[in-house]
């Protein structure tokens, strides 16, 4: 990741979705640290799952070390399991996963997905699905570092080509392989037509 200046961005708060695991390949934790530090240097507040494990903890620690603001949103049950990060700018403790994802959405101007597992996929696809339905009109980005998301991007294309994702919604998932390019594309995202309106038009 290069050390270029902050992109001019209206995205002041970004929700980051990423793995709670620590893969054996150190590039993933390094990537999370770089993203956390870079967003903090650009003055962007991070909203995330509030955990201290894996890529999640690495993003938060790196952003805090750069003097950035980090807001965690964590369900009560995960706090009890002692996975909550106690050094954050702010930590919202919510009753369940549904409240958590709703709060991610209301607190953030955009969603950014780093490599992760099932929890990360759940968050990403909900952000895309809610965008289709018109529950929000915020950009949804995927950082395709090391080609980690090549198959996901191919599958998304397959859904578009088969007709399960409408042409008007084909641009909701924004995937790029570098952070500056991704933030730039997310910044320029034009909200699409919501499904409610789109369903009244022929494909
Ligand atoms: P996964 O990709 O399955 O590791 O799940 C990571 C995503 O799910 C994160 O973006 C979190 O919002 C949420 N999550 C999963 N596990 C935890 C945890 N132990 N603490 C906090 N959030 C978690």
What is the strand order of the sheet 45-48 is part of? 90-94, 70-75, 45-48, 13-17, 110-113, 140-143, 173-176
pLDDT category at 2 given cuts 50, 70, 90 is very low
- DSSP, collapsed to helix, strand or coil, labels residue 124 as helix
Question: Residues 6 or more apart from 60 whose CB is under 8 A from it?
Answer: 36, 46, 48, 52, 70, 72, 85, 87, 88
Residue 5 lies in a domain: no
Cα(22) to centroid of ligand 1, in Å?
12
Segment 24-38 shows an average pLDDT of 98
Cα(19) to centroid of ligand 1, in Å?
6
Best mutation site among 19, 49, 74 for ligand 1, i.e. most ligand atoms within 8 A of its Cβ? Answer: 49
The answer to whether the beta carbons of residues 68 and 6 sit under 8 Å apart is: no
Segment 35-62 shows an average pLDDT of 97
| Residue owning the nearest CA to atom 19 of ligand 1 | 83
In terms of pLDDT, which residue wins out, 101 or 26? Answer: 26
Count: domains in the chain: 1
Residue 163 lies in a domain: yes
Residue 7 lies in a domain: no
Determine the pLDDT at residue 201. 62
Residue 157 lies in a domain: yes
Residue 178 lies in a domain: yes
> Is residue 6 predicted with pLDDT exceeding 70?
no
Task: Output the DSSP codes for 26-70.
Answer: THHHHHHHHHHHHHHHTTPEEEE--B-SHHHHHHHHHHHHTT--E
Residue 134 lies in a domain: yes
Number of helices (H), then strands (E), in the chain: 8, 7
Cα(56) to centroid of ligand 1, in Å?
8
Segment 162-174 shows an average pLDDT of 96
> Is residue 200 predicted with pLDDT exceeding 80?
no
- The CATH code of the domain that includes 106 is 3.40.50.450
Strand partners, 126: none
Average pLDDT value over all residues in the chain: 92
> What angle (nearest 5°) sits at the alpha carbon of residue 161, between those of residues 157 and 167?
90
Q: For residue range 124-141, list pLDDT tens digits in order.
A: 999 999 999 999 999 999
Q: For residue range 50-107, list pLDDT tens digits in order.
A: 999 999 999 999 999 999 999 999 999 988 786 899 999 999 999 999 999 899 999 9
Determine the pLDDT at residue 193. 75
> Is residue 165 predicted with pLDDT exceeding 90?
yes
Cα(178) to centroid of ligand 1, in Å?
23
Determine the pLDDT at residue 203. 53
pTM: 0.91
Q: Ligand 1: does its nearest atom lie under 6 Å from the Cβ of 51?
A: yes
Q: Ligand 1: does its nearest atom lie under 6 Å from the Cβ of 60?
A: no
Residue 1 lies in a domain: no
Determine the pLDDT at residue 3. 44
Cα(48) to centroid of ligand 1, in Å?
9
For 86, the domain range is: 13-200
Residue 85 lies in a domain: yes
Q: Ligand 1: does its nearest atom lie under 6 Å from the Cβ of 68?
A: no
């Amino acid at each position: 990741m290069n050390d270029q200046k902050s992109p001019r961005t209206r995205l002041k708060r970004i929700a980051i979705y990423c793995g709670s695991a620590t893969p054996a390949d150190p590039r993933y934790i390094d990537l999370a640290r770089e993203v956390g530090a870079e967003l903090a240097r650009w003055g962007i507040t991070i909203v995330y799952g509030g955990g201290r494990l894996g890529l999640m903890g690495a993003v938060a620690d790196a952003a805090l070390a750069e003097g950035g603001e980090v807001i965690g949103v964590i369900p009560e049950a995960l706090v009890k399991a002692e996975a909550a990060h106690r050094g954050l700018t702010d930590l919202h403790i919510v009753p369940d996963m549904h409240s958590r994802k709703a709060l991610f959405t209301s607190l953030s101007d955009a969603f950014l997905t780093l490599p992760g597992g099932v929890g990360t996929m759940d968050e990403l696809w909900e952000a895309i699905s809610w965008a289709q339905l018109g529950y929000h009109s915020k950009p949804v980005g995927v950082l395709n570092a090391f080609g980690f998301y090549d198959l996901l991007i191919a599958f998304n294309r397959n859904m578009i080509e088969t007709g399960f994702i409408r042409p008007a919604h084909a641009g909701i998932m924004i995937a790029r392989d570098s952070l500056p390019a991704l933030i730039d594309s997310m910044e320029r995202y034009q909200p699409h037509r919501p499904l409610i309106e789109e369903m009244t038009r022929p494909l």
